[in-house]
Amino acid sequence: MANSEEITLKPLAAVDGQPAFDEAWQAEVLAIADTLVQNGMFSAGAWSDALGAALEKAAADDAVDNQETYNRCALHALETLVAEHSDIDQRAMQGKREDWEQAYMSTPHGQPVNLKSD
């Protein structure tokens, strides 16, 4: 917890005016989560609980208090809820993630990256 006092005292106003998202995937996580709430896959309360649990764990693990941590928690919460409320499990997510990595690795620089069709 050596770091927590320093983090707690970090001026909040210093991050006022920062962009809402550092990278596109961060916006995509919130967009997908809100869309799935609107579509009824899970409730707004379930999303709040899952995100809150992920943030609480990050704080307990002394994760740095910044947007990167927040958005990683949001992604974790989204993956957890999708696994709970659909037939998309963690294994499928990992498999598709590897497919995307392979697609990037095998696509020449400057070309559009597409997944090979199954």
Place of tokens 């927040």: 70
Q: Can residue 90 be called a binding residue for other proteins (CB under 8 A)?
A: no
Please say which residue, 2 or 12, places its beta carbon nearer to other proteins. Answer: 12
Count the Cβ atoms, other than its own, within 10 Å of residue 55. Answer: 18
105 near other proteins, rule: CB under 8 A: yes
Contacting other proteins (CB under 8 A), which of 3, 10, 57, 84? Answer: 10
CB of 40 to other proteins, least distance (A): 11
DSSP symbol at 28: H
Q: Which is nearer to other proteins, 23 or 84 (CB)?
A: 23
Binds other proteins by CB under 8 A, chosen from 1, 61, 91, 104: 104
Which lies closer to other proteins via its Cβ, residue 43 or residue 84? Answer: 43
Backbone angles phi, psi at 108, to 5 degrees: -60, 145
Residue list 34-53, contact with other proteins (CB under 8 A): 34-39, 41, 43-45, 47-49, 51-52
Dihedral, 6, 66, 94, 111 alpha carbons, nearest 10: -130
* 79 touches 93 (CB < 8 A): yes
